[in-house]
Amino acid sequence: MGIDLGTSAVKVLAITTGGREIASGSQFYGLETPQADFVEQDADVVYRATMQVLARVLADVRMRGSEVAAIGFSSAMHGVLCVDDAGEPLSHVITWMDRRAHAIADGWRADGTGLELYATTGAPMHPMLPIAKLRWLAQNDPALFAKTHRFVGLKELVVFRWTGEWLVDHGIASATGMLDLHARAWDPRALELAGVGAERLSRPALPSTALRRFRPAVARELGLTGLTAVVLASADGPLANVGVGGVRGDVALTLGTSGAVRVLADEPILDAKARTFCYCADDTRYVVGGPTSAAGASLDWIFGLLLYEFPKGERFAHAAALAEEIEPGAQGLVVLPFFAGERAPYWNSALRGAFDALDLAHDRRTILRAAFESVIFGVYAVYDVMRELVGPAKRLLLSGGLTKAPLVRQLLADVFGVPAVQPHEQEASAFGAALLAAQAVGLVDDARTAARAAGYDEPTRPNTALAPTYGAAYAKYRRYVDAHLEQL
């Protein structure tokens, strides 16, 4: 089984060792924004949702006469939760979307500290990083900082409640900005800047770590025995790469609430300008890439402005249909969908959105077309950097809700100039977690090989005749981005 603790929902997936899905479930939970720049989650709400969905999926599995050999965990990165000495939350989770630490991160970027840390940790400096959030807590809420026994993430809390152990897999630990990428241990300089000792964090552990001793109450509630292993697995990004089954030349691309472009590597690969991340992926490999904030969340905001007459659940379909009425290039209109700053490749939390080159001849169809194209240009800008580091892609392996739309798949193929392929199993992170768990307990030899066996849809191939059009549109987009960056 794979459990993915996502930003807005938990997803649970049960598969056979051959990669066939036999049961699944999900449950949404909300984000809280108590003030500007604050984006939080209630850890107990997430935990209850996880236990409820897991119980339903376990019942479905057992109804079929099957048992669960292993459970792997995926989780969103960069969260910080303050807990007391009993492991009870003292705060809400400060999520990756939270920007309260932007002044600290910006300062470290400006004085060279960010680049110094990047050489060790592989994490570009940004307010999403827990290292910046811990420093913010120490400076702005010293009472909470002082009484916190340990600073953890959501997955660590679940594993502790199940097993009594505070462990963090190397993937999640990498994304804190405090793990030495090469030694796979907490970095003393990073801890000094954060203001914590290693004893106030979970112990870094291999993603293949399998635990079989459960607290009695959890074992009773879920019906787990020592025959079932809980495997730490990794973070949602690298697990999505595992779940899509990529090989050399494949680039994994996720477009959902946010976006990401990633490849797996056998050794750390760092960018001289710190434009991409390099995190631990599994026991031996690394994931290289970059996340974008301007994706589904930005589109939803635009849809709310232009398609308010439609129910929220119907807006995407209407937006795609209207956008397809406008020719590629969006009549020269450029949308910069940076409504909450942007991460890769600029790592600038002050960057803001804009509509550039608007004309009286444009209507909402034009704006929608430009919005879709600009989201694709955003992930292409990350790929542009990655191509310098790892070479060109042969194909894109897709995941995330936006990629289910034919318009989005065709835009990706056309802009990137390579086939865009959707795996049959779309819950890539949960699927990757399940397969990595199966590998950890010896049920499959290689998780990525097992993922490929699940199969793929027919590829969406690029329309090569549109390459000059999109090349010119992307160049114009970058000129506007650079112009806005120069004003900051």
Q: What is the CATH number of the domain that holds 75?
A: 3.30.420.40
Across residues 366-386, what is the average pLDDT?
A: 98
d(CA 458, CA 435): 23
Angle formed at CA 338 by CA 74 and CA 376, multiple of 5 degrees: 70
pLDDT at 145 over 90: yes
Residues whose CB is less than 8 angstroms from the CB of residue 242 and which lie 6 or more positions away in sequence, other chains included: 234, 264, 281, 282, 431, 432, 435, 436, 447, 448, 451
pLDDT tier for residue 121 given thresholds of 50, 70 and 90:
very high
Question: Are 209 and 327 in a shared domain?
Answer: no
pLDDT in tens, 188-219: 999 999 999 999 999 999 999 999 999 999 99
Q: Does the structure show a pLDDT above 90 at 384?
A: yes
Between CA 360 and CA 323 the distance in angstroms is 17
Distance (Å, rounded) from C-alpha 319 to C-alpha 314?
Answer: 9
Residue 247 has pLDDT above 90, yes or no: no
Write out the residue range of the structural domain in which residue 275 sits.
Answer: 246-422+458-488
Query: Which of 217, 237, 257 is where one domain is finished?
Result: 237
Q: Higher confidence at residue 30 or residue 43?
A: 43
Averaged pLDDT, 44-68:
96
Mean pLDDT of 355-378: 97
**Has residue 248 got a pLDDT over 90?**
no
Longest CA–CA separation in the chain, Å: 68
Pull the structure tokens for residue 118.
């990047």
Residue 450 lies in a domain: no
pLDDT at position 387:
96
**Domain finish residue from 182, 214, 237:** 237
Instruction: Mark whether 220 and 250 lie in a shared domain.
Output: no
Question: Which of 175, 202, 237 delimits the end of a domain?
Answer: 237
Does 452 fall in a domain? no
Q: Are 201 and 253 found together in one domain?
A: no
Number of domains in the chain: 2
431 within some domain? no
Domain match, 233 and 301 both: no
Per-residue pLDDT band for 184 (boundaries 50, 70, 90) equals: very high
So what's the pLDDT on residue 340?
83
> Could you tell me if 97 and 39 are in contact, meaning their C-beta atoms sit under 8 angstroms apart?
yes
- Find out whether 387 and 417 touch, Cβ atoms under 8 Å: no
Cα 36 to chain centroid, rounded: 22
Cα separations (Å) of 394 from 405, 425, 461?
A: 21, 21, 12
Check pLDDT > 90 for residue 424. yes
And the tokens for 336?
A: 């910069």
Helix (H) or strand (E) run with residue 280 in it: strand 277-280
Give the pLDDT band of residue 226 (cuts 50, 70, 90): confident
How confident is the model over 35-47, as a mean pLDDT? 96
Listed residue (153, 162, 164, 168) closest to 233, CA to CA? 168
**Cis status of the peptide bond prior to 345, with omega within 30 of 0:** yes
Asked whether residue 445 is domain-assigned, the answer is: no
> CA 13, CA 400: separation in Å to the nearest integer?
16
> Do 227 and 267 lie in a common domain?
no
Give strand ranges (E) for 342-483: 354-356, 395-399, 420-421
SS3 28: strand
Residue 120's nearest CA partner among 204, 196, 181 is: 181
Question: Do residues 178 and 292 both lie within one domain?
Answer: no
Residue 442 falls inside a structural domain: no
Backbone φ and ψ for 347, nearest 5 degrees, come out as 50, 50
CA 231 to centroid of chain Cα atoms: 19
Is the pTM higher than 0.75? The answer reads yes
Residues 230 and 278 in one domain: no
Distance CA 142, CA 231 (A): 35
- Asked if the structure places residue 437 within a domain, the reply is no
So what's the pLDDT on residue 294?
85
Confidence band of 246 (pLDDT split at 50, 70, 90): confident
Same-domain check for residues 309 and 372: yes
Q: What is the mean pLDDT of residues 260-273?
A: 97
Q: Do both 313 and 200 map to the same domain? A: no
Distance of CA 460 to the CA centre of its chain: 24
pLDDT, position 30: 86
Confidence of residue 102 (pLDDT cuts 50, 70, 90): very high
Regarding whether 264 and 322 lie in a shared domain, the answer is yes
Asked whether residue 441 is domain-assigned, the answer is no
Same domain, 154 and 174: yes
DSSP 325: T
Considering the domain architecture, whether residues 79 and 39 belong to the same structural domain is answered as yes
Question: In which band, very low, low, confident or very high, does the pLDDT at 240 lie, cut at 50, 70 and 90?
Answer: very high
Tokens of 206: 């291999």
Q: For position 203, what pLDDT does the model report?
A: 98
Q: Which candidate, 19, 42, 18, 17, places its Cα nearest to that of 29?
A: 42
**Distance of alpha carbon 455 from the chain centroid:** 23
Is residue 74 assigned to a domain?
yes
Encoded tokens for 19 = 């990669």
The span from the CA of 31 to the CA of 371, in Å, is 24
Taking the C-alpha atoms of residue 348 and residue 340, their distance in angstroms, rounded to an integer, is 10
Mean pLDDT over all residues of the chain?
96
The predicted model gives 455-476 an average pLDDT of 97
Per-residue pLDDT, 273: 97
| Average pLDDT of the segment spanning 168-184 | 98
